[in-house]
Each structure stands twice: as structure tokens, then as C-alpha cells.
Amino acid sequence: MSIGRRKDEHLELCAREDVGFAHKSTLLEAVELLHDALPGLADGELDTRVVLFEKTLRAPIVLAGMTGGSERAASVNHQLARIAEECGYGFGLGSQRPMLACPDDASYLVRSVAPTTLLLGNLGAVQARLAGPERVAELARAVGADAMCIHLNVAQELVQPGGDRDFSGLADTFAELVVHLPIPVVAKETGCGLSPRTAARLASLGVRHVDVSGAGGTSWVAVETLRAREHDDQRALGELLRDWGIPTAAAISFARAASPSFETVLGSGGIQTGLDAARAIALGADAVAIARPVLIALDRGGPAEARAYLQRIERELRAVMLLTGSRSLAHLRRAPRVLGPTLRAWLTPLSG
């Protein structure tokens, strides 16, 4: 099967099928922010701006990497990149693997509609290992990326028919890319989260930016399980591992605690509302990244509905900031909170 056809299948399944986690949640609902009945603020005083990779976002929202490599993907990327430009959000490309075979793939070339937007490139760690630093840098230059996400998707690949099976040497790949790429490298998970050990190891390799992409949102294992129609063994493995991963709330906390050297922690994986975003930021995320809910809104009602959904996220985030007396995102990160018992159990130091 061609990569382009696989990308279209991914879009269709994510937009219209049940590909969420079956039972596991993000555990963001286990974060209760304390109400401030005397916030001493007006809504107009709230400051939601954040600087990421030397670019200022009007709100701490990144439209996460979703797709590329087909005509449908080109339409999605250009429509969402235009929204990001108009609204002052960041924008992430889907995996640029197709560009390794077709460098002029226009589905990734969104700078014409998003000239000033924070733009994140994207490539799988296995493909980055095989391509080498110079080729990865070429991919970043080709799209005008401000930073390059190198994604880790072991669980997805294990379930995907014909997926990668060799994940050796990826630590060395990160170490090389950090040194040789002229732009920041972001270690990005894809729905299974980062453990304390993984976060600490990435920091030791020189990685200074992570996207935790925790469990509780889209399950890429579920996506590949639905695709594995004629592969009984792969489908059975996918059904077993559908809920595999570290909840987003725990993954954000792990990343923040793992190393003070992390300059950027993106909280992603199941961010659905402005309250989710506020809770993620309170746990230590610099900004949140959102993918599938935006795609669903775009599929249902076009750019107008996608824009309206994102503006609702902003309004909800501002409401929570006011209700907690948080003038800025920095104040929100210091807001008092109560953690539920399940999340506390996840955050208990592990032995071994």
C-alpha cells in the first residue's frame, strides 16, 4: 500500500471512527484547580501569550501534526495552517516520510498561507536514523520549519501491518540531531506518553524540547487495529494493546520533574477543552497541542467550525484563568491544585 493511501486511511479513521482509548483517560480530570472567589482581575487583563521557539503565540495552542502525503492531506494542512496564522497558534505537520521519496510534495508546503506561524516539522525517529542528520535538515528547510519533531511511535508500528520492527540506535539518532540540526529538536511521542526514565534519558542526550503526547486521546494502536482487517495476528495484538500508555497528566508531570533542562514541554494527548488545557499548563506544560478534535470539527463543518472550536478552547482557558486568579500562564502554573488518588498513584516514585 502506498504511503499516501495509508495517510488517507488514517485521516478517515481519525475523523469518523472510534479510535480513542477504550478505558484509560488522560487523568487531567484528576486535577482540581482551586477556585478564587476574589481573583482581583478583569478578563481584559489576562495574558495568554507564550513564546515557543522564539515565536510568540497569542494563545498556548498548537495544532498538532496530523497528516501529509496526499491530496486530502494537502487540503487539511493548508486549511488548518491558515487558521493557525489567522489566530496566532502554532502548527505541526504530519510525518514528512513521503518527502524522503518525493521532496517537492506540496502537501507539506504551507508557508504560503502561514508565513509567520510557528511551524513544526515532523519525521519518525526510525526514518531519521536511516536518513541521517543532513537529510533531516533538508526536510526541515524544505518546509521552513522553526523546529523539528522526531516522533516515537513504537506501539503503533508494532500493530501496523508492515510497520517498523527495529528501534535500535534511536538514542544515538537524537544525540546526533541535537548537535547537527540548525533548529531545535523536539522529541515527540504519539499517544503513549513519556516515562520518567525516557524523559531523563532524552535530557541526557541533549534534547531540550519534548511533546509528551500521553494516553487518553487518540489511540494510534486502535487506528492500526482497524486497518489490520486481513491480519488476524496484528488485529489481536492491537485489541490487547489499545489502552497501552502513560496518561497525559502523568506524562506532563514526569517530563517537568525529569529535568530542569527542558526548555519546552508540550502537553498533548486528549486535550478536548480549555479546562483540559488549563490543567495541563498547571501541571507544567508550556502549551498544549490538539489534533483529532480539530480534524473532526474541520471534517464536520469546514474551516469555520474548526476555527469556532479553537476559539471556544481559548474562551474556556481564559475563564479558568480568571476563576483561579491567574493573570498569565506563569501564574496558572503556580495555581493551587488538588490531585486525585489515581493520578497521585501514577506520580508515586517507582522502584527499579
Q: Which three cell numbers stand for residue 151?
A: 516522533
Helices marked H in 24-132? 71-87, 97-101, 125-131
Give the domain CATH number at 121. 3.20.20.70
What's the confidence (pLDDT) of residue 10?
86
Contact 280, 249 (CB under 8 A): yes
Let me know if residue 352 belongs to a domain. no
CA dist., res. 14 & res. 212, Å (int): 20
Stretch 196-219: mean pLDDT: 97
Model confidence band, residue 232 (pLDDT cutoffs 50, 70, 90): confident
Question: Which domain range does residue 334 map to?
Answer: 3-347
Let me know if residue 21 belongs to a domain. yes
Reply yes or no on whether the pLDDT at 31 is more than 50.
yes
pLDDT tens-digit map of 55-71: 999 999 999 988 999 99
Q: What is the mean pLDDT of the chain?
A: 95
> Of 325, 329, 331, 351, whose CA–CA distance to 42 is shortest?
325
**Pick from 93-97, 178-182, 346-350: least confident:** 346-350
Let me know if residue 255 belongs to a domain. yes
Let me know if residue 284 belongs to a domain. yes
Q: pLDDT exceeding 70 applies to what percent of the chain?
A: 98
Stretch 77-86: mean pLDDT: 98
Let me know if residue 106 belongs to a domain. yes
Helix (H) or strand (E) holding 16: helix 3-16
Let me know if residue 99 belongs to a domain. yes
Q: What is the count of structural domains for the chain?
A: 1
What's the confidence (pLDDT) of residue 124?
97
> Of 29, 9, 27, whose CA–CA distance to 19 is shortest?
9
Let me know if residue 218 belongs to a domain. yes
Secondary structure of the chain: what % helix, strand, coil (to 5)? 50, 15, 35
Let me know if residue 70 belongs to a domain. yes
